[in-house]
Every structure is written in C-alpha cells, then in structure tokens.
Structure 1
Amino acid sequence: MPVVKPFRATRPTRDKVGLIASKPYDTYTKAQIEARLDNNPFSFLHIVNPGYKYNKEISGKERFGLVKNRFEEFKEDGSFQQDEKPCYYLHKIIYRNEIQFVGFVGAASTEDYENNSIRKHEDTLKEKVDVFTEYLKTVRFNADPVLLTFPDNAVLEGISQELMQERPEYEFTTTSRETHHFWVIGDEAIKEQIEAEFKAMQHIYIADGHHRSLSSIDLKKKLQAENETHTGYEAYNYFMGFFIPESHLRIHEFNRLVKDLNGLSKDEFLIKLDEQFKIENLKQNYYKPSKPHHFSMYLDGDFYELNLRFRNYDFHDALSRLDAQILYNTILKPILGIEDLRNNSRLEYSQGQKDMAYVKGMIDNGEFEVGFGMYPAKIDEMKTIADEGMKMPPKTTFIEPRLRSGITIYEF
C-alpha cells in the first residue's frame, strides 16, 4: 500500500521555467556547461555550480553550502516561489515530437522504501550515497525526482486525460527538442482520488534514481535521530518522485566496451566463446541484437552475432535469465577476467542510444579491443528481479524519460 502524498513544491515562475530547467549536471560536457552559464543567468546550473560566480572550482562541503546560498538567492529574487498548499503535479514530456511520457510528481514515503512497498532492482555504491546524503543534509532541498513506475491504472489515466484538456501552468520547449507541459493539481477531491489509487497498489518500482532514493532514506534516519520531537510527518520522511505508468517507460540497453582480451589472441578468444555461443562472423555488416540471449560483438574490424547455446547454460532464476548477467557469467568474468563490474578500469559502458556504431568507432580508434551489444531488458524482467529481492548488474538499463532539474523542488 504505497503512500504518495501531495507537497508544496518550490517552482519557477511561469515566465522563467524554460530558462531555469536544465538537464542533470553530469550529462553536460564542460563546454556545454560553460556556454549555458555564460549566456543564461537563470539556468539551474548556476545553483549546482556555484563556483562559476567566483571563477573557481569548488567541491565538497564548501560547495554544498554555496549551492544552498545560490538557491536562496533565486528564491529571494522571485525566480522561485513555493505553492501555498500541497499539490500533485502532472508532467507531460514529448521527445523529438513523437515519444510521449505522462506522469505525476508527488512525495514518496521513506517508510515504503524500507518496508519494500517501493521495490528496487539496482545495487548502490556506499560512497556515492554518503556524499549525496551529506549534500541533501546541507542544502535541504531536492531538485531531481526519483523516477518510479506503477502498473497502468485506468483511474489515474482518466485524471490525466481530463487535466490535459485544461491550459497547462507551464508549456515550453528546450534546445534538445523536448516539449514540456505541466499542470498543478490542487483540487482536494482529485488529490484524494490520486492518493487512494496509489494506496490500492501492491508495489511501485524504482526505474531510475536508486542512489538518490537511498540517500533520502539515510537522511531521514540522521534527521530523525537529531529531532527529539520526531512525529513521522516531517517533510524529511518523504522524497520527491515522478510516478509514471509502466507502458510509458522506454528502456534502452547499455553496451559494454573492454580494453583488452585478457592476454588471449583473437583466435584463442573466439574458441573460448564457441563453448557458450554459436558465432557468426558478419564482416562489415552492422548487427544489433533483435531478441533476448542474442549479442552483438565488434572485434578487429568485424561484427559478430553471438547466440547463446542454451544446453550449456543454467537458467535457475530471474537474474540468470537477464542478458547483462549472461554476458557476465559467460564472457566478462570467466574469459576476460572482469570480476567487479563497478570498479574495473578495463570495462566501460555505452548507453544504447549511441548504439553499436559508437562502439565500433571507439574500437577502431584503438581505445578498446572488443565491444558487446545487448538486447534491452524488459519491464517485467526488472520487476521480477526486484520482487525476488535480487539486483541487476550495474548499467543494465538506460531508462527514459530523463528528467530535468529545477521544475519542481522538494524542500525539507
């Protein structure tokens, strides 16, 4: 019975939202960040990159404090305002004039995360969680909602369709060709309906944002320990989420790039692969996997199709059936000697929108020796692994939509 609450978002004014909203900081190149900071004084990047004001690189706790200061300045000059009462928010995103995502922004319960009403499918890195927890404790706001997904729901769909007949509070298009429409849901009857529909669900699932959500749970524990009058209703008991129906998600693969063949010659490597895969050399013919348990490989100027030999592989649970795990179990670990998928300098990941043409380019220019293309995981695989209490390998899924920072901000 997940609890999803309305909250009082701090939001840009209607005239500035298109200028303020930005992609997450780590998705820009250095040159792109500098161009936006130089030419757009309202970009949210000024808040998360406060050293720009002093022409200086600032990191750690000093940076966190300045982030808070920049945010307060944006509020003081009227660029941000907080809603007077708790609301839900409906957000529609159209990518490239064709792909549409529609979901609700609300506050998810840290208790639901802890009792597994919110289910997880990815491992987290403790160091990354600890740093972000400290960041949240200092700045006291979150500008990036966790992406959560739920089974398609006719009532919530009906509410969405009805609201989308009205004029949106925001309507703007970005230079990345994303069009955003945004509605504020303040009607008490509709809010009660939305909350009741989420409560009637068995589970909801994190699609993207495992580190951010766990940081919110760690923060709640810290603040609760410091608060002698803790009631459980404080804002820190929740974190901001973008709740989207399963059918609206787009799941892409992450391809793998490896710098060497672990001391093997090309022929020795192919012979070892033959134990687990039927191999077809496609020469220069580009190949992208079209179904599960098929893999693309690019090696020494040629594309290969690798088809798993089922008789030699043990399918014993949901994780063992996942292609990213199959690649690890059959090639990366036993042949290429890569044990730790999170911390190995020989292995890098490329999200599937760059496809195998990108992998080919990286190998042809000598940065890597072999690359593997994957078939995208499905939402049912993700859910089953989460339900069974297991975790996917890192960089298994690249999920859209990718949310912008600064459209709704959750203060605590």
Structure 2
Amino acid sequence: MPKITPFQSIRPKPELASRIAALPYDVYNRREALTEVNKEPLSFLKIDRAETQFSDETDTYAPKVYAKAKELLDAMIADGTFITEASPCYYIYELTMDGRSQTGIAACSSIDDYLNQLIKKHENTREEKELDRIRHVDTTNAHTGPIFLVYRSKQEINEIVHNAKNEPPLYDFISPDGISHRVWKISDTKVIARLEALFAALPCTYIADGHHRCASAVKVGLKRRAEHPDYTGEEEFNRFLSVLFPDDQLYIMPYNRVVKDLNGLSSESFLKEIEKAGFTVEYFGNRQIAPCQKGTFGMYLPSGWYLLTAHESLFSSDPVKGLDVSILQDNLLHPILNIQDPRIDKRIDFVGGIRGLEELERRVSSDMAVAFSMYATSISELLEVADAGLLMPPKSTWFEPKLRSGLFLHKLS
C-alpha cells in the first residue's frame, strides 16, 4: 500500500516557469552547468549546482556552496519569483518529445515505503554520490529535484489524469531542447482522496530514474527523525518529492558503452576473440548500427561499424543475466577486454542514447578504442528485475525526456 500524498508546493510564477525549469543537476559537468547558468540567470541550476556562483578554484562540495544554494532559494521565495501554494495539491505533469507524450502525477512519496521496499529499486547507489544531495537537501531544507517513479498503469488513475487535462494548464512552455512541458493542478479534496486511495491499492511503485536522489532524500528524513525523536510520521521530512508515471507511457533509450583500449589485442585478434565468445560478427563499414532487436549490438572501431549477434547459448532466463547489458558485460567486456567491474573501472565510459551514434564515433576518434551501441532495456525488464529483488548492472537505462527541476519544490519543514 504505497502512501502517495498531495503537498503544499513552492513553484515558479507562471510567467517565469520556462526560464526557471532546468534539467537535473547530474546531467551536466561543472563547466556545462556554468554555461547554462550564464545563459539563463534564472535557471534553477544555479541552486542545484551552486558552485556556479563561485570561481573554478572553489571546491564543488565546500560548505559555502550549499549555503549559497539556500541563500539563492530563500531569496527567490522572498522576492516572489516562487509562490507557495495555498493548500496541498497534486499536479499533473505532461512532457512531450518528438510527438510522444508521457503524463505523471507530482506528489510526495513516503520514506517508509522506500525502507520497506514498497518503492522498488533496480540499481545500487554509491555513498559518495549520495553525500552531495544529502548536504544539498539538508541545507536548503527542500527537495528541489523530483524522483522519477513508475507504477503499473491503472485505468482509474488514467481517467483522473485525463479529466484534469481538460482544464487550462498552470504552465505551458517548450524548453530549449524542444520538449513541451504542461502542468495542471488537482486541488479538489474529493479527487485528492480518490487518488490517495487508488495509489494505496497498488502493490508498489518503482524508481525509474533518480536512485541517488531518492536514497539521499530518505537519509535526510532519517536524520531529521533522529533530531526529532518525538516525530509523529506526519512531518514533511517523512516524505520526498516524486513524479509518478504509468509504465505503458515510458520510453527508455539505450545506454551505450565506450572502452579505452583493446586490452593489448590487435583489431584482428579482438574480432576473432569475439567470435570465439559466441557472437556472429558482420562488417558494415560506414553504415551506423543501431540494434533493432534483443541480443544484437553495434560495435564501432576505427575500421568501421560491425553488427554483433549473440548466439542463443548466451541468453538466460535470469532477469539480470538475460539483459543485453549483462550479455555484453559477461561475454565480451569482462572476458575479452578485462572490464571486471564497470562501476569503478576507469577504462569504460557510458554514453546516453540521446547523444546519438555520432558521439560514439567521436569518442573512438578521440579518446576511446571501441564503442558499443546497445538495444534498449525495456520497461518490462526493469519491472521484472525490481520485482525479483535484483539489481541491474550500472548504466542499464536512459530515460527521456528528463523531468525538470524547479517546477515543484517540497519544503521539509
């Protein structure tokens, strides 16, 4: 019984929403974040990445950086750039990319549901990556970036969402990357109660994107509980900001791989080892390979593109071992290229599918020896792994479009 609740949002004035809304903080490196903030001074990225307000010599994780984030947020609330909703609400958030729309419900989820595995994950988190967001949430006293959650589609919820979209939207804009964003508010208490009951009838929800942000939000909530031993469970720090989407509307792009060297092999020897490992190898020259079915992989070397097709013997009924990312890791990257742990190996890097195959060619021509284009993990595979209580290999999914930060803020107190 997931506990999904409305919240008293802090949100941008309608005429400023398009300027404030920003891609998630972890999409950018420091240089890219600074470029974005210089381009749009109202961008919420200046709060999510407050190191952009300091010289390059300043440590990204210095205490003064988090203090600056709080200062900037408080100032934008004080001057009316952000407004505070009069009462707790749900919000309907529609994103449209290349003519395909997905519509979620912005709400608060329970940290207890995460702790009790009613919010299921499919990736491990790394403590060093959590620490940054723990400090950011704790210092600003706010959840600023929503966690991207999934639920198995339910017709009654879909109907409520559909009806809400018949009203005029609060926000309606197209971001610089061409994504359309529309937001509606649900404030009717009967509809709110109905939505709470419908979500409570679901067996669970799932993290699609934002594992580190979610883990960080939960840890801040536990920290606040320790600081307030008389807590009742109703305090805002017991909840975190999320947007929940039905599984049948989501689109996962591939998460491609690039490797720095061939582990001492020549190109000819490398190709022979791949065939020995159980792949059929076909040469396609300059014709780019974007795999169109499970068990196939594009591979780019300086000599051109190759199509790799895994033999049936490499497939597995295990939810994790049967993933294409696992087939490549277990049968090629590890045994041939000696990539033993892709989470920590400095010889491998990951390229989101949104960057296209040209980016793979560019990396091989600059700092890498070989690139692999992947067939995307499906949402059904993700749910199957999570339901089994298992974890995917790192960088298995790339969701598009990305939720924007700054459209909904949730104060912890």
TM-score band by shorter chain is over 0.9
Q: Return the letter of the residue paired with 2:148.
A: L
Q: Return the letter of the residue paired with 1:107.
A: C
Matches within 5 A, 1:13-162: 13-28=13-28, 33-34=33-34, 36-38=36-38, 40-50=40-50, 57=58, 59-60=60-61, 61-96=63-98, 98-162=99-163
Q: CA deviation at 1:49?
A: 4.3
Q: CA deviation at 1:273?
A: 0.9
Matches within 5 A, 1:161-180: 161-180=162-181
Change (3 A) 1:255 1:187: same
Report what 1:185 is aligned to.
186
Percentage of pairs with the same residue: 31
Report what 2:389 is aligned to.
389
Change (3 A) 1:385 1:29: closer
* Stretch deviating more after TM superposition (26-35 or 207-216): 26-35
Q: CA deviation at 1:72?
A: 0.4
Q: CA deviation at 1:163?
A: 1.2
Q: Distance in 2 between matches of 1:203 and 1:356?
A: 36
Secondary structure, aligned partner of 1:320: coil
TM-score (normalised: structure 2): 0.94
In 2, are the aligned partners of 1:279 and 1:305 still within 8 Å (CA)? yes
Q: 1:290 aligns with which of 285, 292, 300?
A: 292
Q: Return the letter of the residue paired with 1:44.
A: F
Q: Distance in 2 between matches of 1:204 and 1:53?
A: 37
Q: CA deviation at 1:77?
A: 0.4
Q: Return the letter of the residue paired with 1:332.
A: L
Q: Return the letter of the residue paired with 2:131.
A: D
Secondary structure, aligned partner of 2:112: helix
Report what 1:9 is aligned to.
9
Matches within 5 A, 1:223-238: 223-238=224-239
Secondary structure, aligned partner of 1:273: helix
Q: Return the letter of the residue paired with 1:175.
A: P
Q: Return the letter of the residue paired with 2:367.
A: E
Change (3 A) 1:33 1:120: closer
In 2, are the aligned partners of 1:95 and 1:178 still within 8 Å (CA)? yes
Q: Distance in 2 between matches of 1:172 and 1:209?
A: 24
Q: CA deviation at 1:32?
A: 5.6
In 2, are the aligned partners of 1:255 and 1:355 still within 8 Å (CA)? no
Report what 2:347 is aligned to.
346
* Stretch deviating more after TM superposition (166-175 or 2-11): 166-175
Aligned-pair Cα RMSD in Å: 1.8
How many residues of Structure 1 are paired with residues of Structure 2 in the alignment?
409
Q: Distance in 1 between matches of 2:84 and 2:370?
A: 51
Show structure 2 runs of 5+ residues with no match.
Answer: none
Q: Distance in 1 between matches of 2:256 and 2:54?
A: 39
Q: CA deviation at 1:35?
A: 5.0
Q: Return the letter of the residue paired with 2:5.
A: K
Q: Distance in 1 between matches of 2:213 and 2:256?
A: 24
In 1, are the aligned partners of 2:33 and 2:49 still within 8 Å (CA)? no
Q: Distance in 2 between matches of 1:119 and 1:267?
A: 44
Q: Distance in 1 between matches of 2:41 and 2:344?
A: 38
In 2, are the aligned partners of 1:118 and 1:203 still within 8 Å (CA)? yes
Q: CA deviation at 1:22?
A: 1.5
Q: Distance in 1 between matches of 2:51 and 2:289?
A: 45
In 1, are the aligned partners of 2:48 and 2:144 still within 8 Å (CA)? no
Q: Distance in 1 between matches of 2:316 and 2:38?
A: 54
In 2, are the aligned partners of 1:121 and 1:386 still within 8 Å (CA)? yes
Q: CA deviation at 1:187?
A: 0.4
Q: Distance in 1 between matches of 2:229 and 2:221?
A: 13
* Stretch deviating more after TM superposition (227-236 or 204-213): 227-236
Matches within 5 A, 1:255-334: 255-275=256-276, 276-311=278-313, 313=314, 315-334=316-335
Q: Distance in 1 between matches of 2:141 and 2:300?
A: 47
In 2, are the aligned partners of 1:91 and 1:180 still within 8 Å (CA)? yes
